[in-house]
Amino acid sequence: MEKRIIGIAADHAGYFLKCRIIEYFRKNNIEYKDFGAHNDESSDYPEYAHLLAASILSGECGPGISICGTGNGINMTVNKHQEIRSALCWNEEIARLARAHNDANICALPGRYITEPEAILIVRTFLSTDFEGGRHLRRILKIPLKNC
């Protein structure tokens, strides 16, 4: 497998889960870049989401993990970037399908609704699943914005 740097970002609601995921990365020698938040004080997820999305688009990082309370806000924010395909993943199967069928390049996690072991399993599955291509590629090529 090619060497890659995993981007990770969270707001205050996802901070502690982000720290546990980073511990998992360190224990498994997975290179990562942390875009914040760097504490659990109230913060705004768009600040970190835009940094993460930009790093994926530039090729600095990829894929990425994003975390906020429900996963929705940070997921919506990164998906505002053209060519970002972020999937809200709350279990292993959703994470697997997000990669295999949708070529998701960011996994958004609902930090207040999953446990640490669930999060690690989701992240591990997301990072180890390859895109299947084929009919799925045809579909994702239709996603980019069109001028109507």
Chain-centre distance of CA 8, in angstroms? 7
Dist. CA 125–CA 100, nearest whole Å: 11
Distances (CA, A) of 111 to 11, 114, 119, 142: 10, 6, 8, 31
Within the chain, strands assigned E span 6-10, 32-34, 64-68, 86-88, 106-110
Active-site entry in 38, 50, 81, 101 = 101
Dist. CA 53–CA 80, nearest whole Å: 9
Q: How many CB atoms lie within 10 A of CB 15?
A: 19
The length of the chain is 148
**Does residue 101 have an active-site annotation?**
yes
Residues annotated catalytic, as ranges: 101
